[in-house]
Amino acid sequence: MEIKWYIFLSVALFCIGIIGALTRRNAIIVFMCIELMLNSVNLLLVAFSKMHMHGMGAVFPQYATDAQLFVFFIMVVAAAEVSVGLAIIVMMYRNTHSIDINFLNRLKN
Amino acid sequence: MEITQILFWFLSALAVVAAVGVVLSKSPIYSVLWLIVVFFSISGHYILMNAQFLAIVNIIVYAGAIMVLFLFVIMMMNLNAEAEPAKNIYLKIAGVIAGMCLMIVFVAALAQSADIKVPIAKGTDIGLIKNLGKALFTTYVIPFEISSVLFLSAMVGAVVIGKKEQ
């Protein structure tokens, strides 16, 4: 399997996530689209970690290990981000009784 | 066509269809369920690339923990009602066109690359838990410990933000 199919799949998932984040008004769905974009980038990083295993990576296999550990740390940071982000959405619902992000267009009140 | 290629195309189609389902479904519950399908298909891709540790972590962390968190927030706050008001249709069209333009730019820029036909290596044991764990606890032990502090601060922050104000 060539690397280009993984690249095109990741690009498709990323752009679907961007379209969702731009068009939907529900804060939870926007948040889920951001998670979708994070996952497409993770998929691309794992595909790149297996890309050069015939040439350079066969001599230095720690580069591929670095890429997969980077994906692991992205998952760790995403988990922390989701907990804080959902707390913010809950606070927003408690204050405005809505999760429509159009209500967040002002910084005061 | 080999079995791995058939699995690749099946998982790719499943991921794209489920991602479209996340964006298009009216109710947030259905969006969460579609997103779980996306995460399982991405885990299938990890297994096809022999990155078994990341596949398991992806299922446990994303499909297991994060999506349950989303479902709890949606169900406990009763957010499932269709609350989106009538919105500007031109903004939606502009968003779709902007996303499509980004996709076209990415594909057109990457299709010219010289490295685009490099094949993915098969059967390497990079992604096994033994290798990744050894690297995680020797080279990357300091970022690992710092991430535990990050989790502690995220937990404290979530409690402080979500607490009722007196």
Q: How far apart are CA B80 and CA A61, in angstroms?
A: 48
Of the partner residues B23, B91, B124, the one whose CB lies closest to the CB of residue A16: B23
Hey, are the CB atoms on B5 and A33 less than 8 Å from each other? no
Hey, are the CB atoms on A1 and B85 less than 8 Å from each other? no
pLDDT 10s digits, B29-82: 999 999 999 999 999 999 998 888 999 999 999 888 899 999 988 888 776 665
Nearest CA in chain B to A24: B23
Q: Which of A28, A98, A87, A50 is nearest to B85 (CA)?
A: A98
Give the domain range for residue A71.
3-108
Q: What was the ipTM of the complex prediction?
A: 0.89
The alpha carbon dihedral of A48, B61, A16, A14 has a sign of negative
Hey, are the CB atoms on A13 and B116 less than 8 Å from each other? no
A101: CATH: 1.10.287.3510
What pLDDT, on the 0 to 100 scale, is given for residue B126?
77
Q: How far is B38 from chain A (nearest CA, A)?
A: 8
What pLDDT, on the 0 to 100 scale, is given for residue B56?
92
pLDDT 10s digits, B90-146: 888 999 999 999 999 999 998 888 777 777 777 677 778 888 888 889 989 999 999
Tally of domains within chain A: 1
Average pLDDT (B5-26) is 93
- The answer for A 60-89 residues in CB contact with B (under 8 A) is 61-62, 64-66, 68-69, 71-73, 75-84, 86-89
CB A87 within 8 A of CB B157: yes
Put simply, whether A35 touches B (Cβ < 8 Å) is: yes
Neighbours of A80 (CB within 10 A): 18
Q: Which residue has the tokens 């204050």?
A: A95
Task: Characterise B53 by phi-psi region: left (phi > 0), alpha (psi -120 to 50), beta (else).
Answer: alpha
**SS3 track for A18-34:** HHHHHHCCEHHHHHHHH
Hey, are the CB atoms on B77 and A46 less than 8 Å from each other? no
* pTM, entire model: 0.89
CB A68 within 8 A of CB B135: no
Residues of chain A with pLDDT below 50 are none
